[in-house]
A and B are shown apart, each in its own frame.
Chain A
Amino acid sequence: MFSFLRALKCIEILNQTTLSLVPQNEEKRSLSLGGHVGFDSLPDQLVSKSVTQGFCFNILCVGETGIGKSTLMNTLFNTTFENEEASHYQNGVYLRPRTYDLQESNVHLKLTIVDTVGFGDQINKDESYKPIVDYIDTQFENYLQEELKIKRSLFNYHDTRIHICLYFIAPTGHSLKSLDLVTMKKLDSKVNIIPIIAKADTISKSELHKFKIKIMSELVSNGVQIYQFPTDDEAVAEINSSMNAHLPFAVVGSVEEVKVGNKMVRARQYPWGVVQVENESHCDFVKLREMLIRINMEDLREQTHARHYELYRRCKLEEMGFKDTDPDSQPFSLQETYEAKRKEFLTDLQRKEEEMRQMFVNKVKETEAELKEKERELHEKFEQLKRMHQEEKRKVEEKRRDLEEEMNGFNRKKLAAETLSLSQPLKKDKDKKK
């Protein structure tokens, strides 16, 4: 945080100096050139530099398991990215980024493809969008951290911010799924979204037309912002605006080749015909490739940085309490704000600590009381049992005494009877003698 402070201080100073350099009422004058100066090579210089640097592009594929995300990536980039089939039984959604180094002529591309594994499989999908949003925010956060460093190397930084989100819509032919709507609403302010209809070879032409209209109207009526191909650049305005009317693109992916005519083309072979991936009357794959890769890739990167990232940055800094102007419309000193925030944070922390300690003490007291109560109960029970036991013992004793008495009584009677019987035979003898 200390280094952060110093960085802010520098920005402050810089702002002040810049202001003093530009004279207030300067008019811009355009001059005509007397000959060829040569700065028209600037774009070439830029291009040359960026080619040397290499390009970086990050694609996020959001869609149900098995909808064809991996196959489409393979088809788009004409290669086979390694991937295993995902299972339907994931507990939640998790994102799987994979980075590849591709090269075409002398252009190097560092391509990262991020897959959403387990999307759409859970029975309860209330939280499904969260891992996706968290991932996008984390990439922004990483970039922000790098940007705020004192010693930073942005030219060297591997930019992992998502430039494009391809949202795969299942070809039901009716409308969007509820999950699609909810997810796209959460993503549209964070990333460029291009919705595509996956596995489009199961929808007939007439159904497709109705389906596309329904999807677009649902997106519009729910305020979902999808990426619009830019129409401000004359060179590509026409093609871009016509493509905008074809959204969402209905795509079919395949890496297998089938012989059609005398050529091998990428296609899917059915008993009733062959669906050719690059045939524009079969599907919109060519349109997608054109728009995504060949024409608007750079614009996507720009939009990500200039719009989505800036929005994130502003929100994040505002959250931390930074403003550009204070209530009096004077430029706020970030340093002061920072100090105030820090104090606030520390007092907050202390208060929380105190609260927790109090809670802990209370809990301990409670538990103690409970234990005492239990002890008392147990003791009582023990006493009761003891009493019962004694009672039983007494009863048994009584019985024993009774029994003994009975026995004694019986013995006496027996004795009496015996003596009687003993005297009896004597008497008999006497009688006999007589």
Chain B
Amino acid sequence: GMDAIMLQEKLVERLLCARGRTMRQKVDKQYVGFATLPNQVHRKSVKKGFDFTLMVAGESGLGKSTLVNSLFLTDLYKDRKLLNAEERISQTVEITKHTVDIEEKGVKLKLTIVDTPGFGDAVNNNECWKPITDYIDQQFEQYFRDESGLNRKNILDNRVHCCLYFIPPFGHGLRPVDVEFMKALHERVNIIALIAKADCLTPNETKKLKDRVRDEIERFGIKVYQFPECDSDEDEEFKQMDKELKECTPFAVIGSNTVVEARGQRVRGRLYPWGIVEVENQSHCDFVKLRNMLIRSHMHDLKDVTCDVHYENYRAHCIQQMTSKLAQDNRMDSSIPILPLPTPDAETERLIKMKDEELKRMQEMLEKMQQQMHEKDQ
């Protein structure tokens, strides 16, 4: 319990104090001073502030809003209206955004939570993930346009950095809708799969379900967010913690909006006749692991992967589509000569081939005749 928490604090410290290590090297050279760069980066970033866009997706009633509130210790859903069963029979998926500015120790964070009410709630859920993929693509497109524009001073980054996908704990593993959703999104956004409402699973059942889900994720080829490998020069403690974190996925979480009294302390929890579930108790659920990973250690990596991988994929794909369309419109000149020529379509190729063959035949005939002529000559 306490040891684990201390270890995790150490992890956070390490990530922030890279400069500490550099300082420890005893060199005889004259001190130049660029070792202060990390400090400068730190200072500037505090001044600039951070932003983060988190999407939550999953069927209604799996505790998404409660978990978000628990993660950021605030109440984002005060005036929410829930639909009843009849209204949900043919409900369409909506996308809603909540943006809040929160601050902690001088560090400002502009947090945007993107909700997907209606996902998986209708009787016929065919392609219910389409509005979500469209939304993510739209944000990419917006950023692409802004990035290619002339005035790039105030680009707003609305790209989705992470998607928490909630898997119900009532089944035996992933359901078809879970698989289809994750496959539609895994190349557009970082997906972190969570087992929701984990207080209905005993420790054995939790382990069994986690193993099953991990196995199915691999079997169906779903690419969920991978924690970056830790450096080989990290110490064993850190490596062990990192390993434990990775083996713990998918995280089994519980959220709570209420404070209860347990073991003499006031904690966030759920009160039952048979006991109290503490949200921040690591032997009760993986909430703390999720929070540390999502907020305290990997938030920036999630942003980086979004920018460097998902966005770049989108951008490259976009450009390719644009140039092939351009080449089709005006066959002779392509206005962007640097890029590789688009491959001609099948029809044109066939015609070219035909003409080539005709030409060849004529040439052969001519050669034959020349030969004949030559022979007659002799």
Known: A273-B275, A275-B274, A403-B373. A171 touches B200 (CB 8 A): yes
Q: With an 8 A cutoff between CB atoms, is A157 at the interface?
A: no
Q: Is the CB of B86 within 8 A of A276?
A: no
Q: Is the CB of A199 within 8 A of B200?
A: yes
Q: Is the CB of A176 within 8 A of B85?
A: yes
- Interface positions of A from 43 to 95, Cβ below 8 Å from B: 64-68, 85-89
Q: Is the CB of A272 within 8 A of B284?
A: yes
Q: Is the CB of B275 within 8 A of A272?
A: yes
Q: Which residues of A contact B125 (CB under 8 A)?
A: 123-125
- Interface positions of A from 169 to 183, Cβ below 8 Å from B: 170-182
Q: Which residues of B contact A214 (CB under 8 A)?
A: 84
For chain A, what secondary structure do more than half of its interface residues adopt (helix, strand, loop), or is it mixed? loop
Q: Is the CB of B274 within 8 A of A276?
A: yes
**What string of 1s and 0s marks CB contacts (under 8 Å) between A394-408 and chain B?**
001000100100010
Contact of A123 among B177, B203, B274 (CB under 8 A): B177
Q: With an 8 A cutoff between CB atoms, is B61 at the interface?
A: yes
Q: Is the CB of B170 within 8 A of A67?
A: yes
**What string of 1s and 0s marks CB contacts (under 8 Å) between B249-279 and chain A?**
0000000000000000000001111111110
Instruction: Report the stretch among A24-32, A201-209, A240-248 that lies at the interface.
Output: A201-209
**Number of B interface residues in the complex (CB < 8 A):** 51
Q: Which residues of B contact A202 (CB under 8 A)?
A: 169, 197, 199-200
Q: Which residues of B contact A67 (CB under 8 A)?
A: 170-171
Looking at the assembled complex, report how far the CB atom of A164 sits from the nearest CB atom of chain B, in whole angstroms.
22
Determine the residue in chain A with the shortest Cβ distance to B209. A66
**What string of 1s and 0s marks CB contacts (under 8 Å) between A142-177 and chain B?**
000000000000000000000000000011111111
* Most chain A beta-carbon contacts within 10 A, residue among B125, B273, B274: B274
Q: Is the CB of B171 within 8 A of A282?
A: no
Looking at the assembled complex, report how far the CB atom of B230 sits from the nearest CB atom of chain A, in whole angstroms.
29
Known: A125-B123, A125-B124. A174 touches B82 (CB 8 A): yes
Q: Which residues of B contact A221 (CB under 8 A)?
A: 86
Q: Is the CB of A175 within 8 A of B82?
A: yes
Known: A172-B61, A276-B274. A218 touches B171 (CB 8 A): no
Q: With an 8 A cutoff between CB atoms, is A361 at the interface?
A: no
Q: Is the CB of B176 within 8 A of A199?
A: no
Q: Is the CB of B126 within 8 A of A123?
A: yes
Q: Which residues of A contact B124 (CB under 8 A)?
A: 123-126
Q: With an 8 A cutoff between CB atoms, is A231 at the interface?
A: no
Determine the residue in chain A with the shortest Cβ distance to B203. A271
Looking at the assembled complex, report how far the CB atom of A317 sits from the nearest CB atom of chain B, in whole angstroms.
33
Q: How far does the alpha carbon of A85 sit from the alpha carbon of B172 in the complex, in Å?
A: 8
Q: Is the CB of A270 within 8 A of B61?
A: no
For chain B, what secondary structure do more than half of its interface residues adopt (helix, strand, loop), or is it mixed? loop
Q: With an 8 A cutoff between CB atoms, is B91 at the interface?
A: yes
Q: Which residues of A contact B197 (CB under 8 A)?
A: 171, 202
Q: With an 8 A cutoff between CB atoms, is A358 at the interface?
A: no
Looking at the assembled complex, report how far the CB atom of A97 sits from the nearest CB atom of chain B, in whole angstroms.
22
Looking at the assembled complex, report how far the CB atom of A74 sits from the nearest CB atom of chain B, in whole angstroms.
16
Q: Is the CB of A198 within 8 A of B170?
A: yes
Q: Is the CB of A122 within 8 A of B176?
A: yes
Q: With an 8 A cutoff between CB atoms, is B130 at the interface?
A: no
Q: Is the CB of B170 within 8 A of A126?
A: no
Q: Which residues of A contact B82 (CB under 8 A)?
A: 174-175
Q: Which residues of B contact A201 (CB under 8 A)?
A: 199-200, 272, 274
B residues lining the A interface (CB < 8 Å): 59-62, 82, 84-86, 88-91, 121-126, 128, 168-177, 180, 197, 199-200, 202-203, 270-278, 281, 283-284, 365, 369, 373, 376
Interface contacts beyond A172-B61, A172-B62, A400-B369: sample of 16 additional A-B pairs, CB < 8 Å, sorted by A: A65-B171, A122-B176, A123-B128, A125-B124, A171-B170, A178-B122, A201-B199, A202-B169, A202-B197, A214-B84, A222-B86, A270-B274, A271-B203, A272-B199, A272-B284, A407-B373
A residues lining the B interface (CB < 8 Å): 64-68, 85-89, 121-126, 128, 170-182, 198-199, 201-202, 204-205, 214, 218, 221-222, 268-276, 281-282, 396, 400, 403, 407, 411
25 contacts between A and B (CB under 8 A): A121-B175, A121-B176, A124-B123, A125-B125, A128-B123, A170-B61, A171-B200, A172-B59, A172-B61, A174-B60, A175-B84, A177-B88, A178-B85, A201-B274, A202-B199, A205-B273, A222-B86, A268-B202, A270-B202, A270-B275, A272-B275, A272-B284, A274-B274, A403-B373, A407-B373
